[in-house]
Amino acid sequence: MEKYAVYVPRLVQKKEKFAPGHRACIGCGEALAIRLAFKALDNNVVVANATGCMEIVASQLPYTTWHLPWIHTLFENTAAVASGIEAAYKVMRRKGMPVPTDTKVVAIAGDGGTSDIGLQALSGAMERGHDFVYICFDNEAYMNTGIQRSSATPFGAATTTSPAGKKSIGQFSWKKNMPEIAVAHNIPYVATACHSYPFDLMEKVRKAAAIKGPAYVHVLSVCPTGWRSATDTVIRLGRLAVETGMFPLYEVENGKYKMSLNIPKLRPVKDYLKQQGRFRHLSDDIIQKIQDRVEIEYQKLLEKAKYGSKTTKRKSRAGAGKVPA
């Protein structure tokens, strides 16, 4: 990454799609991630936005932050709205009605709008194979309504509806593995990303938009307000989430896993947890429990990536001459 630093202004388009003036909290990782994600794309995009922080901070009649055609309707239906737009464009183009060509529909939602209330609509849209990109900006709780737990909240995190107390360690369940759920739909492209790795994020969004069919990108978005962390640690926390294996960066292209970063040795999760108020109450044995789980999950992922690279090789060898039986 470092070697790109000097070229940043040239590599990233100057035009803002998600313009300044919105009302996100100081140090909002999600606003940063959205800004970067849409800088990766051209202007031939329609955005369908679920209810949530990013909808609220960016739209207030009579203003808008968006320099792209943008629609918000409800909380749980964004993937369905996106499929309606995609279908409409398809048929109108076929019938010679005046719509631009190759427009990409991009649905965006938070973790609640994706892994909880919007899961059914998303599953339906992915299964039907609409040509669209779905980006989940995951800040690991319902931040817009005041930091309530979602199924994407990590184990042990204190939220307003999973508070830590004498009889509670905070969030009692493990973070729902949304990217794996997307993979299970056999869609052409699934990726995880984080604003702390901006070029990786942008490259993945670009790739997702270039692919024909449903693409799912899951973006960890640090939320200082909800994570009870310092506003100047947003980038560092994103990096720690990746370096500890809490949020591994990878992509799955046509079913083949590929790790985005080579991390020879994961940092202890403690480095990540200790910087956030939401994990402050965790005892050493709970932290150890998280550590063990993260290592198992990370290992599983590495295995899949190993298998993915093997099958690629095998296939290319098979294609070199032999006719399959």
Partner 1 sequence: MTTRVGIEVSIAVADAVRLTNTDVIAAYPITPQTHIVEHLAELVANGELDAEYIPVESEHSAMSACLGSAAAGARTFTATSSQGLALMNEVLYVASGMRLPIVMAVANRALSAPLSIWCDHSDMMSVRDTGWIQIIVENGQQAVDNVICAFRIGEDRRVLLPVMVHLDGFNLTHVIEPIVLPEQREVDKFLPTNKYPLPLNPDKPVAMGDFAPPVIFTEAKWAQEMNLRDSKKVVLECWDEFYKAFGRMYKPVEKYHSDGAGIILLTIGSVGETASVAIDELRADDENIGQVRLRLWRPFPFEELRQAVKDAEVLIILDRAISFGGPGGPVASEVKAALYNQVGRPKIVSFVGALGGRDITVAGFKNMIKKGIEIARTGSKNEYEIYGVRE
The nearest distance, CB 180 to partner 1, in angstroms, is: 20
Q: Is 45 in the site for partner 1 (CB under 8 A)?
A: yes
Radius of gyration from C-alpha coordinates of the chain? 20
The SS3 of residue 256 is strand
d(CA 303, CA 291): 18
Q: Is 11 in the site for partner 1 (CB under 8 A)?
A: no
Q: Is 34 in the site for partner 1 (CB under 8 A)?
A: no
Q: Is 209 in the site for partner 1 (CB under 8 A)?
A: no
Q: Is 97 in the site for partner 1 (CB under 8 A)?
A: yes
Q: Is 31 in the site for partner 1 (CB under 8 A)?
A: no
The SS3 of residue 246 is coil
Q: Which is nearer to partner 1, 122 or 301 (CB)?
A: 122
Q: Is 84 in the site for partner 1 (CB under 8 A)?
A: yes
Q: Which of 74, 183, 211, 263 binds partner 1 (CB under 8 A)?
A: 74
Q: Is 59 in the site for partner 1 (CB under 8 A)?
A: yes
255: left (phi over 0), alpha (psi -120 to 50) or beta: left
The nearest distance, CB 260 to partner 1, in angstroms, is: 30
* Distances 320 to 253, 317, 323 between C-alpha atoms, Å: 22, 5, 9
Q: What are phi and psi of 189, to 5 degrees?
A: -145, 130
Given the rule CB under 8 A, which of 59-67, 204-212, 248-256, 313-321 is the region that contacts partner 1? 59-67
Beta bridge partners of 190: 216, 252
Q: Which of 80, 106, 143, 294 binds partner 1 (CB under 8 A)?
A: 80
Q: Is 177 in the site for partner 1 (CB under 8 A)?
A: no
The nearest distance, CB 304 to partner 1, in angstroms, is: 28
Q: Which is nearer to partner 1, 87 or 287 (CB)?
A: 87
The SS3 of residue 165 is strand
d(CA 118, CA 81): 11
Given the rule CB under 8 A, which of 8-16, 25-33, 61-69, 198-206 is the region that contacts partner 1? 61-69
d(CA 228, CA 69): 34
The SS3 of residue 47 is strand
The nearest distance, CB 314 to partner 1, in angstroms, is: 36
Q: Which of 1, 8, 19, 120 binds partner 1 (CB under 8 A)?
A: 120
Residue by residue, DSSP assigns 89-126 as HHHHHHTT-S--TTPEEEEEEEHIIIIITTHHHHHHHH
Structure tokens at 295: 């290592």
In which residue are the tokens 């095998």 written? 314
Structure tokens at 261: 């970063």
Q: Which is nearer to partner 1, 60 or 312 (CB)?
A: 60
The nearest distance, CB 292 to partner 1, in angstroms, is: 37
Q: Is 307 in the site for partner 1 (CB under 8 A)?
A: no
Q: Is 275 in the site for partner 1 (CB under 8 A)?
A: no
* Distances 102 to 41, 108, 180, 205, 283 between C-alpha atoms, Å: 12, 19, 28, 16, 53
Q: Is 64 in the site for partner 1 (CB under 8 A)?
A: yes
> What does the binding site for partner 1 look like in residue numbers (CB under 8 A)?
43-46, 48, 55-56, 59-64, 66-74, 76-77, 79-92, 94-95, 97, 99-100, 103, 120-121, 123-125, 127-128
